[in-house]
Structure 1
Amino acid sequence: MSSGGGATESDDGGNGRTGRRPGHSGTRDAILAAARTRFAEVGFDKASIRSIATAAGVDPALVHHYFGTKQELLTAAMDIPIDPEVVLGRIRAVPLDRLGETIVRAVVGLWDSPAGVQAVVAIRSLIGGGEVSLARAFLLEVVLKEVRTRVDSPPGSGTTRASLAVSQMVGVLVARKIIGVEPLASMPVEELVRLVGPTLQRYLTGDLDLPG
């Protein structure tokens, strides 16, 4: 099977060809390029493994072989060396009234970790390179998708609430890790949790007086 358009399109595992083929690094790169384009065009939910495989000219089973789940593929496409489950697992474990402080603690703690250095570089590159659709898909459709569902009260407000939460955390990221605004840049994580957590909590569960 080559990395061009001659690959067979079949169901995942339909022909069992899941092993590595000659030139597998080129195959991996082709899948990543197709995934970046597809995620940016239609978003995470609407981009199927089959459509990404077709665009890359490979069997869908190879996408799973190299990247596992669609969520793992999106993380790889963004070149972020952090598993979103590190944050998602902590968010799932807390009650609704502690979401704000937990998100701030988990996300800022991650940014401040050794792995966070490369993650910040990747996000800066995505934004600077104009791949904002990819970053938006990652934030809203992976990182905050479950949060959006949990805070959807009144019904239909979940996306607005999640978007406001994203705006708050992106602002903190830019000020703390990219521009280096003091005292935010050197503020202890728990101080940030105390100051920013309540604002995030209000966005997620407070009365926003949204249009009916």
Structure 2
Amino acid sequence: MTEPSATAPPDPGASPRRRGRRSGGADTRAGLLAAARAEFADRGFDGATVRRIAERAGVDPAMVNHWFGGKEKLFTAAMSLPVDPGEIRGLVLEGPVDGLGERIVRGFLSVWDPGDGGAMAALLRSVAAHDVAARMLREFVGGMVLRPVTERFCPDRQAERGALVASQLIGIGMMRYVVRLEPLASTPAESLVATAGPTVQRYLTGNLGSTNPDE
């Protein structure tokens, strides 16, 4: 996957940007994607706004919903993510707290395995060398997928629990699709669900121990 890269802000001395609709649909869509890549790289998912992206693209903010259905789906398209985050959340959030860890592992594997890691593997290969790729991975796994889960199910220390789950999922992804460490690379998905699911469950809802080293 080509690494997302930020584009330079408009030159203050440059000609004014066009307002309103662009000349064609494809042009509008491409302009929004380019503007979104720049805004998300500069500000992250939470900091970027539909209005700023539209202004950068020189179009009306309504065009974001028209072409992409909202900021989250624009993020998915702009960063060439392997799956809509909402798809994974749908697999995870529907159900009781018991079995949550297994649902998370199964949800990720269900979208990673069919493409042998696909675009996610490419993103994992890039994170060590490229700050933008690392930020995009944090936004995708930590913010867009896991944060709604931890806010709903975790009893305390939500950020810490989410980071621990992310470490488990990204570790599985790296070893399974990039390093191809055996037997993990060829282990059936449901076997991984059975072995990794309880660890993820403990990270989410179990006792993490004291945060005070004197206790």
Please report the TM-score for the alignment, with normalisation by the length of structure 2: 0.81
Partner of 1:196: 196
Deviations 1:125-151 (A, max 9, x none): 653544221221122221112112023
Instruction: Please tell me whether residue 66 in structure 1 is matched to residue 78 in structure 2.
Output: no
The CA deviation at 1:101 is 0.7
Tell me what 1:5 maps to. Answer: 17
Structure 2 counterpart of 1:93, which letter?
E
* Residue equivalent to 1:12: none
Moved more, 23-32 or 89-98: 23-32
C-alpha deviation, 1:71, in angstroms? 1.0
Asked if 2 retains the 8 angstrom alpha-carbon contact of 1:88 and 1:143, the reply is: yes
What RMSD, in angstroms, separates the aligned Cα atoms of the two structures? 2.2
In the superposition, relative to structure 1, how do residues 54 and 141 fare at CA in structure 2: closer, same or farther (>3 Å)? same
Question: How far 1:208 moved relative to its partner?
Answer: 0.9
Structure 1 pair 207/121, CA: closer, same or farther in 2 (3 Å)? closer
Percent of paired sites with the same residue? 42
Q: Mapping of 1:92-111 within 5 angstroms? A: 92-111=93-112
- Residue equivalent to 1:82: 83
Which residue in 1 is equivalent to 2:152? 150
Contact 2:153 2:204 in 1 (8 A): yes
Counterpart position of 1:36: 37
Asked if 2 retains the 8 angstrom alpha-carbon contact of 1:105 and 1:193, the reply is: yes
Q: Unaligned regions of 5+ residues in structure 1, if any?
A: 9-16
Contact preservation (8 Å) 1:175, 1:185 = yes
Whether 2:178 is the aligned partner of 1:182: answer no
Q: Does 1:55 align with 2:59?
A: no
TM-score by length of 1: 0.82
Deviations 1:7-37 (A, max 9, x none): 15xxxxxxxx6xxx42433332222222122
Gaps of 5+ in 2: 1-15
Which residue is equivalent to 1:26? 27
- Mark the CA change 1:122 to 1:56 in structure 2 (over 3 Å): closer, same or farther: farther
Asked if structure 2 preserves the Cα contact closer than 8 Å seen for 1:123 and 1:135, the reply is yes
- Quote the offset at 1:192 in angstroms: 0.7
Contact 2:88–2:107 (CA<8 Å) still a contact in 1?
A: yes
* CA distance 1:173–1:56, change in 2 (3 Å): same
Output the CA distance in 1 between the equivalents of 2:50 and 2:111: 29
Aligned counterparts of 1:117 and 1:168: Cα–Cα separation in 2:
16
